[in-house]
């Protein structure tokens, strides 16, 4: 008998580097499709923690009998846009 392969769910993750008040870097990660986020001191740490959050969110949806959304990467786009800054704006990165 052939072993059944586990289904894999794909999700887009947005990671941004920020800083604590003392200047220490922290990474925030967000999964728009499931509307969940987490943070960690390294990218690897936040991704591992976020995977746990994704698993929990999916399990909850299944337990509630709801459909589990996934990302369709064939239709996804990542773009950047620019807008004129109003006079006097104090922008920071």
In a domain, 1, yes or no: no
How many domains does one find in the chain?
1
In a domain, 54, yes or no: yes
- Residue 19's φ and ψ, nearest 5 degrees, are -140, 140
pLDDT confidence band for 74 (50 / 70 / 90): confident
pTM for the whole structure: 0.77
In a domain, 37, yes or no: yes
In a domain, 57, yes or no: yes
Residues above pLDDT 70, as percent of the chain = 96
pLDDT number for residue 86: 92
**Residue 9 to residue 15: CA distance in whole angstroms:** 19
Domain that holds residue 32: 14-63
pLDDT digits (tens, 9 = 90+) for 38-66: 999 999 999 999 999 999 999 999 999 99
In a domain, 84, yes or no: no
pLDDT number for residue 93: 62
């Amino acid at each position: 008998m052939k072993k059944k392969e586990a289904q894999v769910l794909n999700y887009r993750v947005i990671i941004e580097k920020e800083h604590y008040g003392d200047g220490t870097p922290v990474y925030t990660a967000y999964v728009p499709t499931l509307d969940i986020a987490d943070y960690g001191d390294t990218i690897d740490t936040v991704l591992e923690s976020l995977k746990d959050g994704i698993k929990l969110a999916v399990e909850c949806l299944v337990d509630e009998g709801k459909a589990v959304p996934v990302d369709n990467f064939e239709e996804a786009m990542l773009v950047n846009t620019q807008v004129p800054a109003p006079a006097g704006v104090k922008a920071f990165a």
